[in-house]
Structure 1
Amino acid sequence: MTMKVLLIDDEQAMLTALSQLLSRIEGVVIAGMVRSSAEAVAFAAQHVVDLAFIDIKIAEDSGLTLALELRHMNADLDIVFVTSHKEYALDAFDVYPLDYIVKPVSLKRLEETIARAARGRVGKLDSGKADTPKRLSVAGLGGLQISGEQGDSLKWMSRKSQELFAYLLLCRGNRASKVRIMEDIFDEREGKNSELYLNTALYQLRKTLSTHGMKEILVSDREQYQMSLEQIKVDFIEFEERLSGFHTIDENNEEAAIAVEKMYTGDLFEDKPYEWALAERERISDMYEEFAKRLAKWLLENNRIRQAVQISKGLVRRNELDEEANRLLMHGFAALKDRLALQLRYKQYEAVLKQELNIEPSAELVEWYSRL
């Protein structure tokens, strides 16, 4: 598959270096190289490109603003930020870039980015259409908040219609049988009335969706129900998709990793008593905690202590009995030379272990603490 690439950087040396590296990757065609936002917009108006490599700061212009303008001109355009400005990483992810690469750039790193872009292109070709504009946004991490295009919250006709929406959302576009829905959502005591309650909830859900012009996303067929997610932006699905790209954490993707960690604002449907969601809640929670520990450890090893401590504090709040999380936090306090905080954390961990499990900290942790 041929991929047409536009390079945008105000430094000619960087344009040349990127061009030389990308030209070594099979299928990549350098469609153009420009050194200003105005040139980039003019080029994009006359040429269709698949991928744009953009510096965050282009002379006096903002690469973030340019990316939004180019995306407006071509909704299918993939954006890759290539920059030495790490501090812009979190803002950059508001543009939903394909990647964020910190200079210096290596051939291997570019090959990974091009491969990811190619996979995305194949997916779009297979589906036969480009991405559908999102008309609903779902924040399911830390609660359940659904808003429309204008930011207005959906008004639910009943708690059960909202729960049915969440249930079908968790099916991720797959079908769910009527029998299974009734078993999971409606109390067994409702007996024969379960089907009536389900039909009522379906009617109410369709009414709510119709106020946003989305009644058609909910379909039924042969005693099964399905909700299309093409027009819905779902935070926990996006979180999991982004998380899957971090097989390792290094200096090239550390800012992207920090941005993904910040996406996890709480457990799935945290304030909702949805028993049918417990397994998925635990699975996503476990994924987050494993990733957050890897990230905190990497930050500690690379002298980004305060960020590591912040993440570790969150992990300890989630589970005070987790020794790995406590150890990471204590190592952070030790690196900051905050002996008082370190002693307090150790004593608190020791006390909660005794109170809840009637055990002592591991011999390894006791030995480490005694050496301080």
Structure 2
Amino acid sequence: MVQEEGGQAISWRSPKVEELFAYLVCKVSVSRDEIADTLWEGFPLDKAMKNLNSTVYYVRKALQQFGMEECLITTRKQISLDTKRIYCDLYEFQQMQNLAWKTEKEMERLKEIYRGELFQGKTYEWSFAKAHTLEKNMISNLLKAGELREDQNRTEEAERMYLHALELDPYHEGASDRLLDFYNRTGRKKKEKQLRKEIGLLLSDEVPHPLLFLKKHF
């Protein structure tokens, strides 16, 4: 949700108005043609553009209630957001995502603002690729942070990082391999064996879901 940090959430007139704003949050600057093709796919161009214009009006009207209307910039061909005028946890995450694992404070902040689902679980098909990239980057940070803590002999914290990564994606091969290797190196054979069973790496007639293990130990 885009808002002033710690501020009030915006109430949208309709799901399509909210979706348009979400699309702009992701794209920042995008052509009217692309928006029409994406949000009104299959509509005749003139009708799609008419819907777009009215939806832009309601986005601006919603922002106006908070004095934020100037962050929406429109031209004949383009619609943009002035990201300097708004706070968005997505933008903060993207700014931090490459190096956050290197410092304690930034890693904790990254974990705080990453809530697992882009747009709080709203299923916009156009956002799936973006959501996958964000999850991939978060897992990468967690694994690197785990490695760093291992190097510093902070094994309990390293384990928590690896478990967190696997919780985000229980079938992530890199995360499961890293955790199994960690248990092997630190002599935690019982946990290693249990995790192997849970993620289906050992032959078994019935393999429980990996999250059963994670809920016990995360």
Determine if the TM-score, normalized by the shorter chain, exceeds 0.5.
yes
User: In the alignment, which residue of structure 2 is the partner of 1:182?
Assistant: 36
Structure 1 alignment gaps of length 5 or more: 1-144, 356-372
C-alpha offsets along residues 80-130 of structure 1, whole Å, 9 cap, x if unaligned? xxxxxxxxxxxxxxxxxxxxxxxxxxxxxxxxxxxxxxxxxxxxxxxxxxx
Structure 1 Cα separation of the partners of residues 20 and 119 of structure 2 = 13
Structure 2 Cα separation of the partners of residues 239 and 171 of structure 1 = 15
- The code of the aligned residue for 1:297 comes to E
1:244 aligns with 2:98: yes
Q: Which residue of 145, 168, 174 maps to 2:24?
A: 168
After TM superposition, give the deviation of residue 308 of structure 1 in Å.
1.7
Structure 2 Cα separation of the partners of residues 345 and 154 of structure 1 = 43
Higher strand share: 1
Structure 2 alignment gaps of length 5 or more: 206-218
SS at match of 1:233: coil
After TM superposition, give the deviation of residue 163 of structure 1 in Å.
0.9
After TM superposition, give the deviation of residue 331 of structure 1 in Å.
4.2
Q: Which residue of 275, 286, 299 maps to 2:149?
A: 299
Asked whether the equivalents of residues 321 and 352 of structure 1 are also in contact (C-alpha less than 8 Å), the reply is no
User: In the alignment, which residue of structure 1 is the partner of 2:14?
Assistant: 158
C-alpha offsets along residues 120-172 of structure 1, whole Å, 9 cap, x if unaligned? xxxxxxxxxxxxxxxxxxxxxxxxx3444662221110111111111111223
Higher helix share: 2
After TM superposition, give the deviation of residue 279 of structure 1 in Å.
2.6
After TM superposition, give the deviation of residue 296 of structure 1 in Å.
1.1
After TM superposition, give the deviation of residue 286 of structure 1 in Å.
2.2
- The code of the aligned residue for 1:264 comes to Y
Aligned length: 205
User: In the alignment, which residue of structure 2 is the partner of 1:194?
Assistant: 48
Structure 2 Cα separation of the partners of residues 239 and 221 of structure 1 = 29
After TM superposition, give the deviation of residue 180 of structure 1 in Å.
0.7
1:346 aligns with 2:196: yes
Asked whether the equivalents of residues 93 and 113 of structure 2 are also in contact (C-alpha less than 8 Å), the reply is yes
1:225 aligns with 2:100: no
After TM superposition, give the deviation of residue 339 of structure 1 in Å.
4.0
- The code of the aligned residue for 1:178 comes to R
* Structure 1, 236-245 or 202-211: larger mean CA deviation: 236-245
* Structure 1, 194-203 or 321-330: larger mean CA deviation: 321-330
C-alpha offsets along residues 265-310 of structure 1, whole Å, 9 cap, x if unaligned? 2143351222222232222222222222111122123222222222
Larger RCO (alpha carbons 8 Å, 6+ apart): 2
- The code of the aligned residue for 1:325 comes to A
User: In the alignment, which residue of structure 1 is the partner of 2:215?
Assistant: none
After TM superposition, give the deviation of residue 210 of structure 1 in Å.
0.7
- The code of the aligned residue for 1:180 comes to E
Task: Please say which structure displays the higher CA radius of gyration.
Answer: 1
SS at match of 1:225: strand
After TM superposition, give the deviation of residue 212 of structure 1 in Å.
0.5
Asked whether the equivalents of residues 2 and 89 of structure 2 are also in contact (C-alpha less than 8 Å), the reply is no
Q: Which residue of 135, 153, 156 maps to 1:285?
A: 135
SS at match of 1:198: helix
- TM-score, L = length of structure 2: 0.79
SS at match of 2:74: strand
- CA-atom RMSD in angstroms: 2.9
User: In the alignment, which residue of structure 2 is the partner of 1:234?
Assistant: 88
Structure 2 Cα separation of the partners of residues 354 and 279 of structure 1 = 34
